[in-house]
Structure 1
Amino acid sequence: MDVPLPSPTGVNALRESFGDRKLPDITRKITACVACRKQKVKCHMRDGESPCSRCKKRGLPCTVNRSLQTILEEDATWKGAIVQKLRWLEDAMGQVATKIDMPELQVRESELSSISPPAAPPNPGSSHLGPVAQSYARDPPRTTWEVVMDPRGGPASIPASCVSETGRAAQPNHVPFPRRPDLVSTGILTLHQALCLFESYQLRLDHFLYRILGDHTNLDSVRLASPLLTAAVCTVGALHSQSFGHLFNVCYDEYKNLVALQTFARNANEEDVRGLCIGAFWLHELSWALIGNAVRLASDINLHSGIYKALKGDREGYLQARLYYLVYVCDHHFSIAYGRPPMSREGFIIDSASRLLESENATEDDARLISQVKEWSLLGQVFDTFGVDVDTPVPSQTLPQLRRYSIALDTWFADWNETFRANDNVGNYPQKGVGFHFHFAKLYLCSHAFRGAPTTGNTAQHLGPELEEIANAGVLSAMSILRVIVSDTEFQSFLNGLPLYFDTMIAFAVVFLLKVATRYASAIRIDTAKILSLVTETVSTLREITHYMHQQHLLGVIAEGLGRLLSRCQDSPIHVAHDQRLHATPRLEHQALYDVGWMENMANFDFQTQFPDLDDWWLHYNTSMGPPTRPTAQQ
C-alpha cells in the first residue's frame, strides 16, 4: 500500500517538527582537535581528516568535537536514508504480496497512522466519497497560465496553443510511488477478488468490444495505469459474474465517485478514457453521462490527432487512434439510436479508418473495430438526412437516398461478413456480430417507412408500393434478429456480455414487430400469427436466459417488460389468420395500451431512468395512445 512516510529534507525537516522556522545561529564548523584547541595553537589536518600533524608527531590522541550544526546535518541525513530504505522495503513487500496472493502482507493505512504526518482537515463535501475518491478530493491543484510562443512552429498553429497552463502544484497522488490508491490498496476488494473480476472482464467481455484494454494484459498493469480504469473493469466484471456478483454494488459506488471527481480533473489521461468507455458500454444508468465525458476528454488530449502518427507506423499514435475509434462507436451507440446528435465528429480520422488496417500494428480486433466505424459513419449520414421528426412522412424525393443507404448497408455486410474467423475468447461472435449489426442497422433505416403513416381514424392505410417494400425489409430484419435469439444457442450465450446497445435494439425489434402486427397490419402484407408466435418464443427465451443474470442487468428488465407487453397485446385485436380476428373489449384495449406505454416510450430508455415517459420518437413511427381498431386481415 502506498502511504507516504515522513520525508525529512535535511535540517529543515527536523527544525519544522519542533515548530521552529528560524535558522540556527551556528555559522561555522569546529575543525581543530581538542589537543590543539587546549594549547591554542593552529591545528593542521590534511583534508580535514584526523590525526592532525601535531598529534601525529607527538603520538597524542586526536579527536574533534562536532558542532551542533554537524550533528543535526548528520542526523537528518541518516534519517533520510532510513526513510528511503523503508519506502523501498514497503514497495518490495507490496510486490511480493501481489505475486504470492497474500494481501494481508500489505501495510494498511491505519497501521501507519501513528507515524504519518498529521492529517489535513477533512473536506466537508467528501464525506460521502469512498476511500479512493477521498484521496483525490483533498488539496485541489492550483494552476497558472501564461502566453507562450513555440519557436518551432509557424503562424499557422492551433489558436489556443499560445495560452499554456503552467505551474500546477503537485497533488498528493503525484508522489514517486509505484501505484496510486485503488479498490485493492484501500481494502474495498481483496487482491484475489480483484484478480477474479479482472479475468472475468479481460478474458471475455473485453473481446466483445475489440479489446478496450489495449496493451494491458494483467491486473497490475491496469492498477498502475488508472484507479478509474481499475474500478470500471471490476464493476463490469462483477455485473457479469455469478460467483462475484455480490461485489457489484461496492465497485459501482466507488466507480461513480471516481467518475464524479474526474469530471473536473485537470490531469486526465488515455487510461481514464478507457475506464469511461467501459462503463458507458455496459452500465445502463450512467452510459450517456459517461460517453459525454469520454468524448470531452478524448478531445482534450487530442486523440483525434493520433491518426497522423499512426499512419507513419508510430505505435503510440496507433493506440491513440484506435481509442478514438472506440469512443466514436460508443458515442454513436447512445446517440443515433436515441435521436441525439452524435458528439464525436467526422473528419480525417474517420475518413482514414481503413488506412489504419494497413499499418504494421493492426490486428483482427482492429478490423472489427473499423467495420463498426464504417457502419456508424453511414448511420450518422442517415440521421443527418432524415432527422427525428417521426410524425412527418418521408418525402418522396428523399426515397432514392433512402434506397442508396440501404444498398450501402448491403455492401457493408458483403464486405465484412466473411472477414472474421472464430475468436478464442468469444467463439464465432466476430462473424455473427456482423450479421446482427447489419439487421439492427436495416431495421433502424427501414422503420422510416412508417413515419407519419397515413391513417383513417386509428387505422393505418396501405402504404404505397415503394414504401411497402422498404417496410417489409424492416420487418424481415426484425424477424431475423429474433430468430437468431430463439434458435442460436451460441448467440444466446453472448447475451450476458454484449454491450447495452444489443439489449436496447432487441427490445426495439420486439416492439416494432408487435406494433406492426397489431396496429399496422393493414398497411403492409404480413403474417401476424407468425410474428406473434416468434415474439412469444423470443420472450420465453429471454426470460430463461436472464434468469441467471445479475439482477442489475438491463436485459432482465427488458425481458420482463416485453413479457408484460406481449400479454397485453394478446388481449388486443390481432390477425391470426385471413379474415379471422380476436375480439377484445374497448376497456381491455385501452388498458393494454396504457400498461405498455413505458415500452413504447423507449426514446429516453437511455439508462438514466428506468421507465421514462417522453415522446416515443425512437420508434420512428406513429405511437398515438388511442385505442386501435380492428384492421383488415392480411396473409
Structure 2
Amino acid sequence: MSKAGTKRPLETIQNPDTSPIHDRERGPKVSKTVTACTECQRRKIKCDLTTRGEICGRCEKKGLECVVNKSLQELLKDEAQWKRDIENNASTTRDAVTEILRVLNLPPLETFANGQERGNSLASPSNQRPALNVRFASEAESPANSIPGRRVPAAMAMTRENSQEPEQENGSSTIVTDPMGSLYEVTKLRNLRSNPQSKPRQRLTSSDEDFISTGKVSVEDAEQLFDHFSKYLNAYLWGGIALVHSDLMAVRRSSSLLLAAILTVSALHVPGMEDVFDICYAELVGLICDSMLDRYHTLDGIRGLTIGAFWLSDLSWKLSGHAVRIATELNLHQSFSRAMKGSADHFEGARLWFLLYVCDHHFSIAYGRPPVIHENSTILNHITFLQLPGVTQADQRLHSQVAIFIILTEIYNTFGPDIEEQLTEEDFVRVRNFNDRLDQYQANWQERLSPNQYVGAYPSKGVRLHCGYAKLQLNSLAVRGCKLGYEEFSTARRDLAGIAISSAVTILRLTLEEPDITHALVGVPLYLHTMITYATVFLLKVYQRWGAQLGIDLALIRDLVSKIIDLLQGARASQRHLAYHIASGLRKMLHRFSAADGPSSGAVSTQNATSTNYDPVLATEVADFGPVDSYGSIVGYDEFFPFGFFDVLSATIPE
C-alpha cells in the first residue's frame, strides 16, 4: 500500500537548505493564512480586513468587534519565537551569573546545581533531622527578637579556581612565600585562601534585606542611633578611625555587621532603648556567628567587630580576637610597610591595624591574658606613620594609645604573669625606670592632642588618666605576692606602693572633678570603667590588708568610693549599660567593707578627707584594727569584679 507524502521532491535532496530539518530550525511552516475576521467567517462573506488594517468595513458599519483567530500554524510559530527568546534570555543570564561568580571568586555555576542534586538525593524522610533551635541570652528576654535561619555550609567546598587570578603584588614572582601560599599555588583550592585578591573586595549588602527593612528596627530609631554614634561615641573612639561613612544608608549598603554593631552600641547608651538594644544585639550575635565560617570579609566587617569589642563587655574578648584573625587574613599586618612605601591604598588598612592593636591590648590588660598582636617593627615604629599625608588628629589620639600599651606590654613581659611572685629590690629599679618612661609619655602626648567639638578636652585629659592607670598597674606590683598581716615593708617597697595608692586616688578624683571625664562615663569604651573599678577595688583591698603600714586615710577612701557610686548610678544611659552594674557592685562591696571595719574606722584621721593635696603616703594616723585574714571572706571582692594579671592582690584573698 502506498503512503502519501513518502516521496521527497528532487530539489529537497539536491538543496539541503530546504530539508525538513532546516524547516524545523526556522519554525513551523504556515500553510494557510487567516485573512477574515470571525464575523465574516461565520456569514461566509468576503472580509476586507487585509486592505483596511485593524477593522473590516462590515464590523465597523455594524459596530461589531473585529476579531481574527490565529491559525494553529501561527500559534506554533509564536510559541517557537517565545522559546527562542527564553533561551536567549537564559543564556544571557547564565553568562552574567558566571561573570559575577568569577569576579567574587565563588564556585562555578555547575557546582550549585550539583550541590542541590546531592541535597535532594540525601533528603529522605528516614534521614532528615529537624534543625536545631539556637537561642541567645538576650533573645530570651524578648520573644520578638527571633534570629532568622543562618547560612550553614553543608559540606567542605573542595572547589578549584575556574580561572587564573591576576598576579598579586607579591605573587608567583616571589620565591619566598608562606607555606599555605605554596599549597594554594599547587592545588588552586579556593578554601585555602580567605582573601584571594590583593585588595579586599567590598561585597555590596542590599539595604532591602537588613533588619531595618524587615521592620525589626524602625528607620527613625536607626537614624537617631546612627546620629548618636557618629557624633559622640565615634569621637570617644578617636574620632574617625572606626567609621568612614557619613550616613546610615552608606553603612547599610556596605556591611550588615557594621550596621548591627553601631546600632547595638548606640542603643546601649541611649535611655529608653532597651528593647531596640535587645533586637540589635540578637541580630549582631547572629551576624558574628555567620562571620566565623565566612571566607570573604571586608574592612567594614572588621570595624563592626571592633566597635562591638570596645563597648560590649560580654563579647569584648572574643570579638577582639576574631577581628585580629580576620585582619591577618586580609594581610592588614602588612599594610603599614606598604603605606610607608607610598601606597595610598594601604593607608586605611594600616590605620585599622593600629586600632586592632589598641583593642587587643585593652582587653589583654583587663583580663590578664597575653595579647594576640605582638610588638614587632610595625608597632615599635608606629610613630613614623604620623608623618604620612592624610594623618589627622584622630591618628594622633590613636597612636597615643599605641605608645602607652607598648610600655604596658613591656611591663607585663618584664615582671611576668605569676601573681604570687614577689618583686625583689633589684626589680624596684626597673619599676622606677618604667615610672620615668610613663612620665615622659604624659609630657610628650598631653600637649599634642587638641580638644574635640563633641568631647571637649577629653583627649588630652585622657592621656593623664591613662598614665595614672598605667602607674597604678605598675607600682601595685610592689605588693604582689606579699603575705597577709603585718609583714614589714622595705622603704623602696613602701614608696612604690604609695605611688600606686596615689595613682588610684588620682584616677577617682579626675573622674569626679574633671567635667570632660565625668561626662565621658557614658560614651567611652569599657577601658575607662575598668580603670575606675580597679582603682576603687585596689584602694579597698590595700587598706584592708596594709592600711597601717601604708598610711591610708579610710575616710578619704569612703568619700571617694561613695561619690563614684553616686556618679555611676546617676548616669543617663540604657539600663543595660555597665555603669549601673558597677555602681550596684561597688555599693555592696562598700557596705560589706564598712560592716567589716566596724568601729575601728572612727580612729582613722579624717582631717585630710577633703583636702585636695592629700598624699596617702604621708597619712600616718591609722587605727590598730583586728586580724585582716577574716575580712576577705566577709567582703568577697572577687564575687563582683574578677581581675587578671594586674590584680596583684588576688593571690592573697582568703576563700
Question: Structure 1 length as normaliser, TM-score?
Answer: 0.74
Could you tell me which amino acid in structure 2 is paired with residue 389 of structure 1? D
Change (3 A) 1:525 1:33: same
Change (3 A) 1:73 1:462: same
User: 1:409 & 1:583 partners in 2: Cα distance?
Assistant: 36
Shift of 1:179: 4.5
User: 1:308 & 1:626 partners in 2: Cα distance?
Assistant: 50
User: 1:517 & 1:176 partners in 2: Cα distance?
Assistant: 57
Change (3 A) 1:318 1:490: same
Contact 1:229 1:272 in 2 (8 A): yes
**What is the root-mean-square deviation in Å for CA atoms of aligned residues?**
3.6
Change (3 A) 1:460 1:322: farther
Shift of 1:567: 1.8
Q: What is the aligned counterpart of 1:224 among 253, 257, 267?
A: 253
Q: Does 1:443 align with 2:472?
A: yes
Q: What is the aligned counterpart of 1:317 among 335, 341, 346?
A: 346
Q: What is the aligned counterpart of 2:578 among 537, 554, 559?
A: 554
Q: Does 1:72 align with 2:98?
A: no
C-alpha offsets along residues 429-458 of structure 1, whole Å, 9 cap, x if unaligned? 1111111111111111111011122x4xx4
Shift of 1:143: 4.1
User: 2:250 & 2:308 partners in 1: Cα distance?
Assistant: 19
Contact 1:603 1:617 in 2 (8 A): no
Q: Does 1:603 align with 2:642?
A: yes
> Match of 1:478?
504
User: What SS class does the counterpart of residue 602 from structure 1 fall into?
Assistant: coil
Shift of 1:66: 3.2
Q: Does 1:563 align with 2:587?
A: yes
Q: Does 1:270 align with 2:299?
A: yes
User: What SS class does the counterpart of residue 268 from structure 1 fall into?
Assistant: coil
Q: Does 1:235 align with 2:232?
A: no
Contact 1:313 1:361 in 2 (8 A): no
> Match of 2:623?
581
Q: Does 1:157 align with 2:212?
A: no
Could you tell me which amino acid in structure 2 is paired with residue 460 of structure 1? Y
Shift of 1:395: 2.3
> Match of 2:14?
none
Contact 2:481 2:651 in 1 (8 A): no
> Match of 1:134?
149
> Match of 2:652?
624
User: What SS class does the counterpart of residue 523 from structure 1 fall into?
Assistant: helix
Shift of 1:180: 7.1
Contact 1:486 1:537 in 2 (8 A): yes
User: What SS class does the counterpart of residue 562 from structure 1 fall into?
Assistant: helix
Change (3 A) 1:30 1:459: closer
User: 1:428 & 1:380 partners in 2: Cα distance?
Assistant: 27
> Match of 1:460?
486
Q: Does 1:544 align with 2:570?
A: yes
Could you tell me which amino acid in structure 2 is paired with residue 276 of structure 1? L
Change (3 A) 1:26 1:224: farther
> Match of 2:323?
294
Matches within 5 A, 1:26-175: 28-30=25-27, 66=77, 68-74=79-85, 124-125=130-131, 127-128=133-134, 134=149, 136-137=151-152, 142-144=157-159, 152-164=172-184, 166=189
Change (3 A) 1:488 1:332: same
Contact 1:144 1:166 in 2 (8 A): yes
User: 1:404 & 1:35 partners in 2: Cα distance?
Assistant: 106
Shift of 1:401: 1.8
Change (3 A) 1:25 1:624: farther
Contact 2:393 2:449 in 1 (8 A): yes
Change (3 A) 1:215 1:140: farther
Give percent identity, aligned residues only: 31
Shift of 1:142: 2.6
Shift of 1:246: 2.8
Could you tell me which amino acid in structure 1 is paired with residue 348 of structure 2? L
Q: Does 1:181 align with 2:196?
A: no
User: What SS class does the counterpart of residue 461 from structure 1 fall into?
Assistant: coil
Contact 2:203 2:298 in 1 (8 A): no
Q: What is the aligned counterpart of 2:283 among 250, 254, 257?
A: 254
User: What SS class does the counterpart of residue 522 from structure 1 fall into?
Assistant: helix
User: 1:415 & 1:238 partners in 2: Cα distance?
Assistant: 36
Contact 1:277 1:330 in 2 (8 A): yes
Shift of 1:204: 0.7
Shift of 1:125: 3.9
Could you tell me which amino acid in structure 2 is paired with residue 369 of structure 1? L
User: What SS class does the counterpart of residue 548 from structure 2 fall into?
Assistant: coil
C-alpha offsets along residues 241-270 of structure 1, whole Å, 9 cap, x if unaligned? 125343111111111111112112211222
User: What SS class does the counterpart of residue 388 from structure 1 fall into?
Assistant: coil
Matches within 5 A, 1:333-352: 333-352=362-381
> Match of 2:535?
509
Matched residues, number: 520
Change (3 A) 1:25 1:189: farther
Question: Structure 2 length as normaliser, TM-score?
Answer: 0.72
Shift of 1:186: 2.7
Change (3 A) 1:151 1:336: closer
Q: What is the aligned counterpart of 2:218 among 166, 182, 190?
A: 190
User: What SS class does the counterpart of residue 154 from structure 1 fall into?
Assistant: coil
Q: Decide which structure has the larger Cα Rg and report it.
A: 2
User: 1:479 & 1:283 partners in 2: Cα distance?
Assistant: 27
Contact 1:511 1:600 in 2 (8 A): no
Residue segments in structure 1 that go unaligned for 5+ positions in a row: 1-23, 37-62, 83-118, 169-173, 605-615, 628-635
Could you tell me which amino acid in structure 2 is paired with residue 596 of structure 1? V
User: What SS class does the counterpart of residue 298 from structure 1 fall into?
Assistant: helix
Contact 1:440 1:478 in 2 (8 A): yes
Change (3 A) 1:141 1:266: farther
User: Greater helix share, 1 or 2?
Assistant: 2
Q: Does 1:201 align with 2:198?
A: no
Could you tell me which amino acid in structure 2 is paired with residue 28 of structure 1? E
> Match of 1:521?
547
Shift of 1:581: 3.4
Contact 1:310 1:316 in 2 (8 A): yes
> Match of 2:557?
531
Shift of 1:301: 1.2
Contact 2:273 2:574 in 1 (8 A): no
Shift of 1:486: 2.0
User: 1:365 & 1:243 partners in 2: Cα distance?
Assistant: 31
Q: Does 1:404 align with 2:430?
A: no
User: 1:157 & 1:131 partners in 2: Cα distance?
Assistant: 45
Q: What is the aligned counterpart of 1:487 among 513, 530, 552?
A: 513
